[in-house]
């Protein structure tokens, strides 16, 4: 299935779709740094990569934004400037429109805000595309605050827009902790399916049985003397999990992994799951300690040739 990646970021949704066997035919992203990363990770050839590596960093960052490095894939900078006639034909559109105005961490401006209101541009484009070329599937991802924004009226508007354009919709909240990642990260996935192209039920998905999740057991606490605020760390019994470097033991590699720490309280507390990362659109991750956390990920153990958790 062909798909277009709107509000593409650095291509996380694209990666998932490609792993499922689908083909991206174009993307739209406003932030030039995200476009540079997206292009580097998904579009350039190995020959282009080798050439870019010979350039100084600042020149490389500008060079990769040239059209030639996208190797013929359709691209748009600003969705507000795109017209339906410009789009390549695709069976699916992905769009994770900006979440700041829906998030409970933001001002909750909802569809009246400057960012989350950009989802309206998707509905405009669907209306501009010839009916025979409209996507069969629309997949929309956002924070769960979208459901309650403006007392639920914003979500009602989104459903009404989909209905007016001939799409039935299903939605569900998913939490990353149910799929092998030790982080509470709840997101709404809404799937629209064109009535003109048959009916297909998508949800519910079965959640993971968590056999692939990290199973950790607290075995003790201690303070790091290298941190000015003396954050307590918890080290875990992690059989089958790749060890981390432990500076407290002179750099030795012990089978330990630090549990997540909630830094929002005066007396920092241990948590079983990582806190979500929060970011300001124009300044990256905030400098509030409680907004940051580590997440254990799957890595390749080169010594054994098998995948382990770290």
Catalytic residue among 99, 200, 238, 276: 99
Question: What distance lies between CA 247 and its chain's CA centroid?
Answer: 32
Q: Mapped to the 3 state alphabet, what secondary structure does the chain carry?
A: CEEEEECCCCCHHHHHHHHCCCEEEEEECCCHHHHHHHHHHHCCCHHHHHHHCCCCHHHHHHHCCCHHHHCCCEEECCHHHCCHHHCCCCCEEEECCCCCCCCCCCCCCHHHCCCHHHHHHHHHHHHHCCHHHCCCEEEEEEECHHHHHHHHHHHHHHHHHHHHCCEEEEEEEEEHHHHCCCECCEEEEEEEEEHHHCCCCCCCCCCCCCCCCCCCCEEEEEECCCCCCCCEEEEECCCCECCEEEHHHCCEEECCCECEEECCCCCCEEECCECCCCEECCCEECCCHHHCCCCCCEEEECCCCEEEEC
99 noted as active-site residue: yes
Residues with catalytic roles: 99
């Amino acid at each position: 299935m062909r798909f277009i990646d709107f509000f593409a970021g650095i291509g996380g949704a694209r990666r998932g779709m490609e792993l499922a066997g689908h083909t991206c035919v174009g993307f739209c992203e406003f932030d030039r740094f995200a476009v540079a990363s997206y292009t580097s990770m998904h579009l350039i050839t190995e020959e282009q990569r080798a050439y870019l590596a010979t350039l100084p960093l600042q020149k490389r960052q500008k060079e990769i934004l040239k059209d030639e490095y996208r190797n013929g894939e359709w691209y748009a900078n600003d969705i507000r400037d795109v017209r339906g006639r410009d789009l390549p034909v695709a069976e699916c559109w992905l769009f994770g429109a900006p979440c700041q105005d829906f998030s409970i961490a933001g001002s909750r401006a909802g569809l009246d805000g400057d960012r989350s209101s950009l989802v309206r541009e998707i509905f405009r484009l669907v209306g501009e595309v010839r009916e025979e070329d409209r996507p069969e599937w629309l997949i929309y991802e956002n924070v769960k605050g979208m459901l309650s924004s403006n007392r639920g009226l914003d979500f009602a508007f989104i459903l009404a827009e989909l209905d007016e354009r001939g799409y039935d919709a299903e939605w569900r909240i998913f939490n990353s902790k149910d799929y092998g990642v030790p982080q509470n990260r709840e997101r709404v996935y809404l799937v629209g399916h064109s009535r003109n192209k048959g009916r297909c039920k998508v949800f519910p998905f079965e959640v993971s049985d968590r056999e692939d999740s990290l199973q950790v057991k607290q075995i003790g606490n201690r303070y790091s003397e290298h941190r000015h605020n003396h954050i307590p760390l918890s080290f875990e019994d992690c059989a089958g999990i790749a060890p981390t470097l432990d500076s407290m033991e002179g750099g030795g590699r012990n089978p330990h992994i630090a549990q997540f720490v909630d830094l929002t309280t005066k007396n920092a507390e241990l948590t079983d799951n990582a806190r979500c990362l929060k970011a300001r659109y124009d300044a990256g991750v905030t400098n509030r300690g409680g907004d940051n956390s580590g997440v254990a990920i799957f890595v390749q153990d080169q010594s054994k040739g098998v995948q382990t958790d770290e």
